[in-house]
Structure 1
Amino acid sequence: MATVRPIVFGPQLSARLTEGATREWLVPDGTGGYAMGTVSGLRTRRYHGLLVVAGRTPAVRNLALASLDPVLTLPSGATVRLGVHQWADGAVAPDGNRLLTSFALIDGVPRWRWRIGDVVIEREVAAAAGRPSVAVVHRLVAGGPIEISLEALCTWRDAHGERTAGGPPPQVTPTADGCEVEGAYRLSGPGFAPSGEWFRGVRYRAEAERGLPQTEDLWYAGSFRSALANPGEAVEVSAWAGDLDDPPPPAAKTVSAARMRNRAVVAAAEPADETQAALVLAADAFVVRTGTGPDVVAGYPWFGSWSRDTMIGYEGLFLCTGRAETGRELLRAYAGTLSRGMLANTADTGSVEYNTADGTLWFLHAIGRHVTETGDDDLAAELLPALRDVVSHHLGGTRYGIRTDPADGLIRQGSAGEALTWMDARVAGVPVTARAGKPVEINALWVNALATVLDLAARTGTPPGAAEAAYPAAREGFSRRFPTPSGLLHDVVDGPNGDDATLRPNQLLAWSLPHAPLRPDRAALRRIGAELVTPLGLRSLAPAEPGYRGKHRGEPAERDSAYHTGTVWPWLTGPYVTAWHRLGVPVDDVLADIDGHLGEHGLGSISETADGDAPHQATGCPFQAWSVAEHLRARKL
């Protein structure tokens, strides 16, 4: 059984901001909160911090403890600051990154080592699983004696926003072993000395690149102080939210427990190789438990739960990682959100919407895969009435113009100002790729959903309902309407301007789903490979097509305009590999491309997107659920 290979960087990368500050680590807490930062220690995003606390849903988070900066006093009396900050004027001070000898991510636990002459200091960060907390341990590895002070820079604000000195400072109340901030979280450690000072103009370079507010002010609440005389001695600090009277275990125990837990998570999935082991551990970050049960965080640091992402990623996140029972619980809970034949979609505000044409169909796909892989006919019998209702509403019509066309059995969708497929970006309220009409992947999913209902009905000996007549009509309509003379498929038929043969990757689902309506065409797959495949995934639009954008960068409107018009999406590697697999053609080289990416952006994970143009620099969320899930699934074919 394979284990996760440590990711290790020496001083030539970790000590240099141009390299170290573009590689990010993540420590999830299992509730949707996290600790996150960069290899160099520089906070480059407003989302970076040691304690980011999830609220009622994972979509609603608050930044609490921004940083805990080490300040060393050496035997000579010299003072050395190991923190790293950039300021509004561009200056970087202090620049403790210069003293880093290494950064390592071992079993999901990040570790930094600094050398100052004969003194070596090590830091490790971990979370107590299942609660909003962080443990930070600084250990003397060599040299000494030294004194260490850990300066706590605090705030309490929405993770998407900023807080400045123009308003009142955070309310800090001393406790017996630390302090309480805003009545929302506590810090605990040795020798706490209160302070009270604004650190003004902290700059976030990644937000500047994204055209978003780039500075804020942080409150220096105080410092934890300790003497470390001998190698092996450590100073431990914990921070936690939730029940403030219930502290987590001591920080060193939390670090040890996190490492052991992560090893167990990987072992339970029995990975075949080191890359698969790394993806299993990466998947663990996205499966969380909230007050209402299990859920999936679509991506870190800014996404919450989205039903489409959850259901696309279901097989990889749950069935490929030994979490079938947790997955069963999630599917039953999501079934309870069905309304008028549509699955609820939780927005990043925490509100519930019904605004996808495909999320519900992916839900039926997830149920089908669960039952097929686990043999859970009891779940099939329980959910079949709801699934038959989904079919009936899609046949008769539901929200946003979603209904079946009796002329060809295919699903039509579209509503003014809405983008209902996965290509859902909007600029100034206007969809960039509305794709009104009959999109190819929606109808591939529709055929797959109808076949799934028939299969589940047969397994449980119950009537399939309207799916029995709808399935052959939809399959015949698909086979008649979508193919083009070249062997490729239309991206949309019956759109506002007729049939659209724009070369996009959506047609892959017509060949890759379990009940795909068509058998893959070799020539078509070769054309898609030549035009769309990159080392990180598939482009969302072929470069030769009008409107192609090769860079996913700039201000929000620029990025959203490029989001589905050329930007690369790693999750699409799954359908591409599966389509070739159905022809018996291995494409292991495509899957192998991701190996190097695991150490160059979101460490140990796969990014949301990448530039369409070479060298395909990663963009979007550094840690994305369906990117990881589809690579896991495809590796198990």
Structure 2
Amino acid sequence: MDFQLDRKIGNNFQSATTKEWLVTNGIGGYSCGTLTGVLTRSYHGLLIASLQPPVARTLLLTKLDETVSYQGKIYELATNVWADGTIAPQGYLQIESFAVEGTTPIWQYKFADATLSKKIWMKQGENTTYIQYHYQQGHEPLILALKALVNYRSHHHVTIDQSNYLITHNSDNSLKIQANLDSPCLYLYGLNDHQIQSHYLGGEIEKNLLRTANPELQTYLSWSIANIWYLDFALAVETYRGLKDQENHLLAGIGEITLNVGETVTIIASDQPITEKTIAYQYSQHRQRERELIELFTRTKSKRKTPLNRPSTGLKEKANEIPAWLEHLICRADQFIVDRNLTDNQQGKTIIAGYPWFTDWGRDTMIALTGLTISTGRYGIAKEILLTFAKYIDRGMLPNVFPDGNNRPEYNTIDATLWYFEAIRQYYHATNDRDFLTQIYPVLQEIIDWHIKGTRHGIKLDGDGLIYGGESGVQLTWMDAKAGDWVVTPRIGKTIEINALWYNALIFMINHGEIIGQSTQQYQQLAKLTQSSFHKFWYAEGEYCYDVIDSPLVNSGNDRSFRPNQIFAVALPQDIEHSQALFSLSQQKSIVDQVTEKLVTPYGLRSLASDHPDYIGIYQGDRISRDASYHQGTVWSWLIGYFVQSHLAVYQNPKLACSFLLSMVKHIEDSCIGSISEIFDGDRPFHYRGCFSQAWSVAEMIRSYLVCLK
């Protein structure tokens, strides 16, 4: 289940520096960086703590720059790039290999005849990062020195300050670091094998943390306080994004330890003092949790009667085995599921939309929920998320931006609420949880009622049974880029995917209302009217669908821009009782064929056809430039899932449909190793952009793969 990269990749500076790793803690905090250790983003750091889970993410520990003294020579293992372009030190040349085990990044450094490994993981539920060094082989002791570079800022910003921090030694030889008296603390510990064992309170200790050698031969890591600023780190990705691209970090202290062959030292960075109970946290527990997730997926898949010995789809798989890439995505799926404190002092669950910078969004959560939780067998988590969001439904709408502290939720989304129906449908289909259906059905009835009579932002059911929505200055659909007061793709009117989702919601209300004995006559009438009016979306001359109809922004009222949103009218709903196809089979085929020709790329679908005058093929530049291209040609990986589903509906060829996922499997070895990026350039070579690990991208890869196997 490992991804392994050898010295050839690791020593290629440009290639290795674009590859990133990510570990998370289940409450919104994370640790991430590049394979070489070079900082290229403001979001890179060993401990980005979530101080108000799952938000208020704050950089505390930036990095540990390692130096090894061995056989009388000094070997730098760290790598930094400075504002003048200098690369110093150049420790990437010592990287023998890099691997990802589950979600854990593992390096092997080779110098002379010695090998030192490093791995990084976090504790679930705490802002605590573990950085473990193991002296694997050599002929004499080595001295490992670690420069602890720290900071205190939002992960969105950069630091130019050079004020001294408050740094003290604790009685257990740890460091306590504060930017000021009012800021949270960073605690740094350096624990070797003997210390970990002596503080352990019971249970089985992971084998590689045990020492059988004489404890008297061991040396404790000692810290010396520095309080010196290192200036002008260069952030290459922020340069590309048109943002502040230089930063200063404080060298808080230097830790040093002598290791004999076979010995291990673990650095623990946390925003809380480490007690005896937490010292014993083992890597084996972390890995066991990931193995259990894969086992749960396997059991769930078996119960769904999706055989493992099906015909090969060509996606690096063997009979009766889960493909290695899928195991990685199952582990990555867990990284997006986080705790959220609710307004009634209870704890709920939500989904981080993407790392490193997104929080939890209503739309992203509902789209990603099926692939992240239901497809992986985590039904309890799915239910908890659905109930969490139910608490915030207001005037028939789910919040787009989830409430954070005392901030009021923002209800500026037309589709999050309709995706909520689909998420509930998928949950019930997997669980037959009638009690939940009975509980949630009145909530859904209220949502339908609000859409009929009209709610915020001009969202209302028109006389033809189609949903109209939008007003000046507000972005409501998933194509929601906005720079200042400029809404790039306003899409005011009747949008095609919104109405496909509306019809899908009505069919849900009919089928599931009958299950619990509710009258569904109103929904049957509405569904019939919606279905009969859907022909208005058909652009006969082009033999595809208008993206928006009855729009005040277009002279004819109908927007002929060729966009991917029409695939949802083919993909939803499918094989559901009481549903009727929204278009004829020949029309569906024309949609799928033209989308294949004009929008499909190896990594998802373009958001706009390249022959459109507003098409922008490269996503780059400052925020305004990037927002201008965000939905005007940029490729979105999550769309591949519903394209595969629509292709399968038309051609009934699972192997052919699944073939569109092939390049995405290869992408899992790029960017954030083991995950899938948010977006890609619309032009070749389709470089990955945006968040390097996106919830709905991972979710749709899992879900659509399983759809192909049914």
TM-score range, shorter chain: over 0.9
Give the C-alpha shift of residue 156 in structure 1. 1.4
- 2:239 — aligned with what? 208
Letter in 1 for 2:685: P
Secondary structure at 2:684 match in 1: coil
> Which segment is superposed worse, 359-368 or 513-522?
513-522
1:561 to 628, 631, 651: 628
* 1:150 and 1:223 in contact (8 A); partners too: yes
Secondary structure at 1:455 match in 2: helix
2:507 to 447, 451, 461: 451
- 2:197 — aligned with what? none
Are the structure 2 counterparts of residues 112 and 235 from structure 1 closer, same or farther at C-alpha, using a change threshold of 3 Å?
same
Secondary structure at 2:222 match in 1: coil
2:331 to 276, 281, 295: 281
Secondary structure at 1:121 match in 2: strand
Secondary structure at 2:570 match in 1: helix
1:439 to 486, 489, 495: 495
* 1:448 and 1:517 in contact (8 A); partners too: no
- How far, CA to CA, are the matches of 2:44 and 2:520 in structure 1? 50
Is 1:299 aligned with 2:364?
no
* 1:121 and 1:140 in contact (8 A); partners too: yes
1:244 to 273, 279, 284: 273
> Which segment is superposed worse, 570-579 or 471-480?
471-480
- Pairwise CA RMSD of aligned residues? 1.8
1:444-463 superposed Cα distances (whole Å, 9 cap, x missing partner)? 11111111112221111123
> Which segment is superposed worse, 317-326 or 578-587?
578-587
- How far, CA to CA, are the matches of 2:338 and 2:129 in structure 1? 16
Q: Give the paired residue count.
A: 627
The TM-score, its normalising length taken from structure 1, stands at 0.95
- 1:386 — aligned with what? 443
1:362 to 402, 419, 429: 419
* 2:39 and 2:233 in contact (8 A); partners too: no
Is 1:424 aligned with 2:447?
no
- How far, CA to CA, are the matches of 2:277 and 2:296 in structure 1? 25
Give the C-alpha shift of residue 486 in structure 1. 4.0
Are the structure 2 counterparts of residues 588 and 483 from structure 1 closer, same or farther at C-alpha, using a change threshold of 3 Å?
same
- 2:253 — aligned with what? 222
- 1:630 — aligned with what? 700
- How far, CA to CA, are the matches of 1:212 and 1:255 in structure 2? 37
Secondary structure at 2:668 match in 1: helix
Letter in 1 for 2:411: Y
Secondary structure at 1:72 match in 2: strand
Is 1:395 aligned with 2:452?
yes
Letter in 2 for 1:212: L
> Which segment is superposed worse, 447-456 or 358-367?
447-456
- 1:310 — aligned with what? 365
> Which segment is superposed worse, 467-476 or 540-549?
467-476
Letter in 2 for 1:627: S
Is 1:264 aligned with 2:292?
yes
- 2:660 — aligned with what? 590
Letter in 1 for 2:77: L
Letter in 2 for 1:476: S
- How far, CA to CA, are the matches of 1:551 and 1:599 in structure 2? 22
- 2:63 — aligned with what? 67
Secondary structure at 1:419 match in 2: coil
Give the C-alpha shift of residue 487 in structure 1. 3.4
Are the structure 2 counterparts of residues 573 and 478 from structure 1 closer, same or farther at C-alpha, using a change threshold of 3 Å?
same
> Which segment is superposed worse, 479-488 or 88-97?
479-488
- 2:165 — aligned with what? 170
Letter in 2 for 1:564: H
- How far, CA to CA, are the matches of 1:595 and 1:364 in structure 2? 30
* 2:566 and 2:591 in contact (8 A); partners too: no
The TM-score, its normalising length taken from structure 2, stands at 0.86
Is 1:614 aligned with 2:681?
no
- How far, CA to CA, are the matches of 2:362 and 2:161 in structure 1? 38
1:504 to 550, 559, 563: 563
Secondary structure at 2:544 match in 1: coil
Secondary structure at 1:370 match in 2: helix
- 1:91 — aligned with what? 86
Is 1:477 aligned with 2:477?
no
> Which segment is superposed worse, 474-483 or 528-537?
474-483
Are the structure 2 counterparts of residues 215 and 414 from structure 1 closer, same or farther at C-alpha, using a change threshold of 3 Å?
same
* 1:536 and 1:569 in contact (8 A); partners too: yes
> Which segment is superposed worse, 17-26 or 288-297?
288-297
Give the C-alpha shift of residue 617 in structure 1. 0.6
* 1:88 and 1:202 in contact (8 A); partners too: yes
- 1:538 — aligned with what? 605
- How far, CA to CA, are the matches of 2:153 and 2:167 in structure 1? 14
- How far, CA to CA, are the matches of 1:246 and 1:417 in structure 2? 52
Are the structure 2 counterparts of residues 349 and 159 from structure 1 closer, same or farther at C-alpha, using a change threshold of 3 Å?
farther
Give the C-alpha shift of residue 254 in structure 1. 3.1
- How far, CA to CA, are the matches of 1:397 and 1:94 in structure 2? 62
Secondary structure at 1:21 match in 2: helix
1:32 to 16, 28, 41: 28
* 1:313 and 1:629 in contact (8 A); partners too: yes
2:37 to 38, 41, 45: 41
Letter in 1 for 2:145: S
- How far, CA to CA, are the matches of 2:493 and 2:470 in structure 1? 6
1:326 to 372, 381, 392: 381
1:331-357 superposed Cα distances (whole Å, 9 cap, x missing partner)? 011111000000012269774210101
Secondary structure at 1:354 match in 2: coil
| Identity within the alignment, % | 34
| Structure 1 unmatched runs, 5+ | none
Secondary structure at 2:136 match in 1: strand
Secondary structure at 1:593 match in 2: helix
Matches within 5 A, 1:9-158: 9-76=5-72, 78-143=73-138, 144-158=140-154
- How far, CA to CA, are the matches of 2:583 and 2:422 in structure 1? 17
Are the structure 2 counterparts of residues 481 and 107 from structure 1 closer, same or farther at C-alpha, using a change threshold of 3 Å?
closer
- How far, CA to CA, are the matches of 1:590 and 1:419 in structure 2? 30
